[in-house]
Amino acid sequence: MRYITCMGLPEVTARKRTAATATVASTETETTPAPARRGEAASVPAFEPMYNVVLLDDDQHTYHYVITMLCNLFSVGFEMAFMMARAVDTDGRVIVHTAGRDAAADKRDQIKSYGPDPLLETSTGSMHAVIEPLQG
């Protein structure tokens, strides 16, 4: 087995099977899971419920403020931040993040503490955001 090398990485080749490796291979055994016992339910992993961080529209913040805030807090690119700003302006709300309850609450609090829009004298504070349970 040979792989093509790229960017100076070492080439991987298949090892020849020798008597020593044949002995090791013959002593290895396959393990199979034990059958489920009667009355035992198959264990389903419990997942943490997810929450949406929803940014709410107002007339006290410019597109520049919203785009800058989204880029800084959520590490999204300009294009995605612009689409979110447009959505919050036209629909009145937009989901900006989805995470577990604690992480979603932290992001909501970051939005609420981002401060007023420096480009508008009438801006008195940060934008509003809420967290909502993920539907589905």
pTM of structure: 0.67
Per-residue model confidence as pLDDT tens digits over 106-134 = 999 999 999 999 999 999 999 999 999 99
Q: Which residues pair with 131 in a beta bridge?
A: 53
Q: What is the pLDDT of residues 39-60, one digit of tens each?
A: 555 677 788 899 999 999 999 9
pLDDT at residue number 67:
97
Cα distance between residue 116 and residue 80, in whole Å: 22
In which residue are the tokens 């036209």 written?
90
Domains and CATH numbers, the chain: 50-133 (3.30.1390.10)
pLDDT in the model for residue 46: 83
